[in-house]
Amino acid sequence: MTKYLHATVDGFRIFYREAGPKTAPTILLLHGFPTSSHMFRNLIPLLADRYHVVAPDLPGFGFSDSPPRERFRYTFEHLANVIDSFTQTIGLERYAIYVFDYGAPVGFRLALAHPERITAVISQNGNAYDEGLSQGWNPIQKYWKQPTTENRAALREFLGPEATKAQYFYGVQDATLVAPEAFELDSALLARSGNDEIQLDLFLDYATNVALYPRFQEYFRTQQPPLLAVWGKSDPFFLPEGAQAFKRDNPKAEVHFYDTGHFALETHVQEIASAIREFLGRTATQANAA
C-alpha cells in the first residue's frame, strides 16, 4: 500500500508518497512540470514489492508547501537543496533516481553533490543534452536571453488548462489511456493564487540547468552510473536525440523508446515498470558480483 506522508524540511512541509519495505533498495521518483508525485500513482505499486519507493512533491507543486516568493527562492538549485535535505530527513542513504522533466536537473544536481549515494539513474524524458531540446523551448529561451516583462507575460499561455491538457495528449496513440484527473489536478494546482509567478520564475531559472549540462555529462562520463533512458519518442519538448546522447558519455547506457509523448507513464506504465525491474535487477546483480 502507498502511504501519503509529510516531512518538515527547512520549516516547510514536503508531501511524499512512500511504498515498499524500507529494507529494500530505494528508488527516488522526481516529477516534472506541471505535475506532481501523482504522475507516479500507477508506477509505484508495480515497483513496491521489490523496492522502497519514495516520490516527493517539489516545493510549489502538488501537495507540498508553496511558500510565497518573498520567503522562498524558486530556483532549481534551491529545489535540489530542499530535496537533498528531504532525503536526509527521512533517512535515505543510497538510492536510484528516476528523473522526469524538471526532476532531471534536480536529480542530476543531487548526483553531482553526492555521487556516492546514487545507485542508478533512470531518465524518463529527463534531458541533459542540448540536442534534446526541441523548438518548443524557443519562447522560454527568448525569455532567458531577454528577461523582459513582455517576454515573461508571453509565457503565461503555458500555464493555462489547455496547455496542460495538450502536454498529456501530444504524441499519444490511444487517448483513452490518459486519465482526465491527471491533467485536471495539475491545472487546478497551477491555478492557485501566486503559483503562476512561481512557475514563471522557474521558466527563467531553467537556463541554469542548460548551463550545467557539461557538468551533468561529466558525471555520466566519470562516474558511469548504471543508466536507463525510457523515453516517449513523440515528446514535444525533449527529443529522442537527448536520450541517445547518454550513450556518448556512458556507453553502457540503455535506451528504450515508446510510441507515446511526454507523460509516458500514462500510456506505457507496464512496459516502463518491466524495463526498470529488469534493469535494476540485473545491474544490482552485476554490482554485487564485482
Q: Which residues are catalytic?
A: 262
Question: Is there a contact between 53 and 44 (Cβ–Cβ < 8 Å)?
Answer: yes
How far apart (Å, rounded) are the C-alpha atoms in residues 136 and 103? Answer: 18
How far apart (Å, rounded) are the C-alpha atoms in residues 263 and 166? Answer: 11
Cα-to-chain-centroid distance, residue 197: 21
Following DSSP, what letter does each residue of 240-266 receive, concatenated? HHHHHTHHHH-TT-EEEEESS-S-THH
Q: Cis omega before residue 34 (within 30°)?
A: yes
List the grid coordinates of 78.
534551491
Using only the alpha carbons of the chain, give its radius of gyration: 18
How far apart (Å, rounded) are the C-alpha atoms in residues 183 and 155? Answer: 19
Q: How is the chain split among helix, strand and coil, in percent rounded to 5?
A: 50, 15, 35
How far apart (Å, rounded) are the C-alpha atoms in residues 32 and 159? Answer: 14
H/E run at residue 98: strand 95-99
Going from the C-alpha of 171 to that of each of 15, 136, 144, 165, the distances in angstroms are: 31, 14, 27, 12
Per DSSP, the three-state class of 13 is strand
Question: Is there a contact between 62 and 31 (Cβ–Cβ < 8 Å)?
Answer: yes
H/E run at residue 192: none
- The DSSP call for residue 30 is E
List the grid coordinates of 217.
555529462
